[in-house]
């Protein structure tokens, strides 16, 4: 979680440093509009990251249902893409331990 937060801050800090926002009441409305657009871009990036993490929960639950490590597959899906992770999980199927449990073999 610390690495994710440091990654987010590493992306956001340069954007904030590049924002050219004039003080309120300076009469420079173009700078305020540019600053507002920069803030909008930052918020859009944050929303997209949150949505990406939420979509990556699909492979998490698929992996848990198949007897595999959900956290590992969540991390994999975050980096290689949730669609690839779903395809890989569909191809490899259930874990050996889950198959044995389903058959009642100890």
* pTM of the full structure: 0.55
Domain range for 98 is 56-106
Tally of domains in the chain: 2
Residue 8 in this model has a pLDDT that exceeds 60: no
The least confident of 11-15, 40-44, 66-70, 100-104 is: 11-15
Which of 55, 80, 98 is the endpoint of a domain? 55
pLDDT single digits (tens) 27-76: 555 554 555 668 888 889 999 989 988 898 999 999 999 989 999 998 89
Which of 35, 55, 75 is the endpoint of a domain? 55
Tell me the pLDDT of the chain averaged across its residues.
76
Q: What percent of the chain has pLDDT over 90?
A: 26
Q: What is the DSSP string of 16-74?
A: HHH---PPTTSS-HHHHHHHHHHHHHHHHHHHHHHHHHHHTHHHHHHHHHTTS-HHHHH
Asked whether residue 28 falls in the same domain as residue 44, the answer is yes
């Amino acid at each position: 979680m610390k690495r994710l937060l440091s990654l987010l801050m590493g992306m956001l800090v340069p954007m904030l440093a590049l924002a050219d926002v004039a003080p309120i009441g300076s009469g420079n409305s173009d700078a305020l509009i540019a600053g507002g657009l920069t803030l909008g871009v930052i918020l859009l990036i944050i929303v997209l990251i949150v949505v990406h993490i939420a979509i990556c929960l699909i492979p998490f639950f698929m992996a848990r249902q198949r007897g595999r490590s959900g956290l590992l597959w969540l991390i994999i899906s975050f980096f290689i893409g949730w669609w690839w992770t779903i395809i890989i999980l569909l191809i490899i199927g259930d874990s050996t331990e889950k198959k044995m449990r389903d058959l009642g073999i100890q």
